[in-house]
């Protein structure tokens, strides 16, 4: 069975939204599941979040990384730092982004700036996972639909559209996300 790590997003926590539900379902299937509590979630910084994954994940061929929102970028930036011979099973990104809408305050813009502007070596990232999966919603207020194309073009991601799920998180009252279970089950086949 797989070792699955779930990475929450900006302002998130391990208890929010669909994370506890997913953990319970996957553990019943025999997977080892870890929902990481990211440092300083209200002010996520690449220099803190990527090393945090490095300290808390042991990447193997049985590793699956699941991220929400900025957690997806954290995963990709973490993969970029791995030695060339390490490859994990899969990455599942939920409401991940490279472009954003609805940043309202100067503080939000300042927090987001490095995530939006510091380049990611997608070619290198692709070498560290067997497959990438991107789940997005048609009415996400923060994540423009153009992100689907970026995930497909740069990572060869399999994309999955959800209708009317917003940002697919706790603030949207999403308490279950069966599509993530389906993707992980498909990886075992």
Alpha-carbon distance 54 to 75, whole Å? 10
Alpha-carbon distance 150 to 5, whole Å? 23
Q: What are the boundaries of each domain within the chain?
A: 3-129+150-188
Q: What is the pLDDT of residue 188?
A: 84
Q: What is the pLDDT of residue 110?
A: 97
Contact predicate 187/30, CB 8 Å? no
Tokens found for residue 65: 């990384």
Would you write out the chain's pLDDT as a tens digit for each of its 189 residues?
A: 899 999 999 999 999 999 999 999 999 999 999 999 999 999 999 999 999 999 999 999 999 999 999 999 999 999 999 999 999 999 999 999 999 999 999 999 999 999 999 999 999 999 999 999 999 999 999 999 999 999 999 999 999 999 999 999 999 999 999 999 999 999 986
Q: Which CATH superfamily is domain 3-129+150-188 in?
A: Alpha/Beta hydrolase fold, catalytic domain (3.40.50.1820)
Q: What is the pLDDT of residue 68?
A: 98
What value, to the nearest 5°, has the Cα angle with vertex 138 and ends 136 and 143? 60
Contact predicate 48/74, CB 8 Å? no
For 46, phi and psi rounded to 5 degrees? -55, -45
Q: What is the pLDDT of residue 15?
A: 97
Q: What is the pLDDT of residue 189?
A: 66
Matching residue, tokens 């870890």: 34
Alpha-carbon distance 58 to 43, whole Å? 25
């Amino acid at each position: 069975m797989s070792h699955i790590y779930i990475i929450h997003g900006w302002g998130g926590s391990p208890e929010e939204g669909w994370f506890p539900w997913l953990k319970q379902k996957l553990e019943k299937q025999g997977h080892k599941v870890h929902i990481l509590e990211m440092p300083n979630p209200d002010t996520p910084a690449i220099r803190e979040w990527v090393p945090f994954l490095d300290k808390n994940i042991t990447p193997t061929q049985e590793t699956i990384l699941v991220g929400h929102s900025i957690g997806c970028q954290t995963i990709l930036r973490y993969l970029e730092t791995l030695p060339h011979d390490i490859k994990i099973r899969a990455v599942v990104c939920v409401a991940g982004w490279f472009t954003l809408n609805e940043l309202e305050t100067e503080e939000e813009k300042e927090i987001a700036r490095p995530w939006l502007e510091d380049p990611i070596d997608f070619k290198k990232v692709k070498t560290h996972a067997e497959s990438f999966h991107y789940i997005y919603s048609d009415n996400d207020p923060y994540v423009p639909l153009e992100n689907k194309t970026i995930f497909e073009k740069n990572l060869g991601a399999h994309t999955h559209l959800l209708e009317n799920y917003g940002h697919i998180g706790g603030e949207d009252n999403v308490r279950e996300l069966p599509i993530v279970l389906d993707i992980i089950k498909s990886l075992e086949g």
